[in-house]
Structure 1
Amino acid sequence: MNKAFTKETDQDDEDDLSPSPIPAGTKNYLTPQGYQRLRDELLTLIDVERPKIVEIVHWAASNGDRSENGDYIYGKKRLREIDRRIRFLTKRLDIAEVADPSVHHGHDQVFFGATVTYVNQDDVERTVTIKGIDEVDNLKGEVSWVSPIARALLKSRVGDEIQLMTPGGLEHVEVLSVSYPAPVGKD
């Protein structure tokens, strides 16, 4: 059978959804900055990346034999990746719930978007910022609002001692500080 008539597997379509599934019955919370980043990525893919790759594939196809044409083969593969990412971003942005953490500026209770400093029973101090599933950067100390530490911290206040179930067992954690970004345009 000719390769042109084979169907791509459905597995390929689900690749981008598996890393960060949204728990059933919950919303896809994002900060305004996280929403904007995802939206900018989507628009760049649609307006810049995809047209550029389509042009390369069109040029490569006009060169003749496609079976050994690296530009054509790579271009088609890259188009599939871009289209898959566009579908993923479109779905995620459609169900996004933008929550501005600056509305809690000055409060000492932990909500979405809070930067929380806590200490465990071994006197190890950590600081995390609670963000949306699709915008978390672990290297910057950000955790998803559905992560175990975030779920344990949510609704606690400065001075509260909470219990966190870890792979090593039950851990006691004390909240030392809670902060939120200042509202934009207000001093």
Structure 2
Amino acid sequence: MKSNLITRGGHDLLVAELKHLWHEERPEITKKVNWAASLGDRSENADYQYNKQILRKIDRRVRYLGKRLEELHIVDFSAEQAGKVYFGAWVDIENEAGEQKTLRIVGVDEIYDHHPQHISIDSPMARALLSKQVDDEAEVMTPSGKKTWFINAIRYEPSEKPD
């Protein structure tokens, strides 16, 4: 089961995507479908069929986002989190071989191809890091066995700190 947690920034991105799809992409594709339909025989009209397929894809995503946004719980940074790894944290870690990574613990809806540093709160790595502090060790079970990571730094997005 996927968690319903999301950072404020992640929530804002999903809301922006929904608005873009509904107010910009969908009306544009709808015009193309109507234009192609006006040409007549729809069964052999590639423009009509292609744009109708895109419209269905947009509608599916709009429905999904509408439902998902209602289920999500925004987690903002609170002062009690300072110094420990919690949801939304950026964590610098290092293993015994000296390999270093910077990861951010986020909700499943915030993991995108263009954010390779984002890991799901539901992942084994995130679970191992939660509640840890700088200089703590986190042991993570991987397919190749147990791995130990050392926590070098913890920080939170400035935009998510309370005023």
Q: What TM-score do you get using the length of structure 1 for normalisation?
A: 0.79
Give the letter aligned to residue 117 of structure 1.
Answer: D
Give the letter aligned to residue 99 of structure 2.
Answer: V
1:123-162 superposed matches below 5 A: 123-137=98-112, 139-162=115-138
Give the letter aligned to residue 95 of structure 1.
Answer: E
* Structure 1 unmatched ranges of 5 or more: 1-21
Paired with 1:58 and 1:176, the residues of 2 have a C-alpha distance of 57
> Of 83, 103, 108, which aligns to 2:83?
108
Instruction: Indicate whether 1:83 and 2:45 are aligned.
Output: no
Which digits, 9 at most, give the CA deviation of each residue in 1:116-137, with x for residues without a partner? 1111122211111111211124
Give the letter aligned to residue 122 of structure 1.
Answer: A
After TM superposition, the structure 1 stretch with the greater mean CA deviation from structure 2, 49-58 or 138-147, is 138-147
Give the letter aligned to residue 123 of structure 2.
Answer: S
Residue 124 to residue 184, structure 1, CA distance change in 2 (3 Å): closer
Paired with 2:162 and 2:67, the residues of 1 have a C-alpha distance of 33
Residue 140 to residue 52, structure 1, CA distance change in 2 (3 Å): same
Paired with 2:45 and 2:162, the residues of 1 have a C-alpha distance of 57
SS in 2 for 1:175: strand
Which digits, 9 at most, give the CA deviation of each residue in 1:15-56, with x for residues without a partner? xxxxxxx43xxx411111111110111111111111211111
Residue 105 to residue 114, structure 1, CA distance change in 2 (3 Å): farther
**Alignment RMSD, CA only?**
2.0
Paired with 1:63 and 1:122, the residues of 2 have a C-alpha distance of 65
* Structure 2 unmatched ranges of 5 or more: none
Residue 176 (structure 1) shift:
1.2
Give the structure 2 partner of residue 54 of structure 1. 30
Report percent identity of matched pairs.
Answer: 41
> Of 112, 122, 138, which aligns to 2:97?
122
CA contact (8 A) 1:61 1:72 kept: yes
Q: Relative contact order: is structure 1 or structure 2 higher (C-alpha 8 Å, sep ≥ 6)?
A: 2
Residue 181 (structure 1) shift:
2.1
CA contact (8 A) 1:116 1:127 kept: yes
CA contact (8 A) 1:161 1:175 kept: yes
Paired with 2:59 and 2:101, the residues of 1 have a C-alpha distance of 39
Which digits, 9 at most, give the CA deviation of each residue in 1:49-81, with x for residues without a partner? 112111111111111111111110011101110
Residue 77 to residue 183, structure 1, CA distance change in 2 (3 Å): closer
CA contact (8 A) 1:163 1:171 kept: yes
CA contact (8 A) 2:76 2:160 kept: no
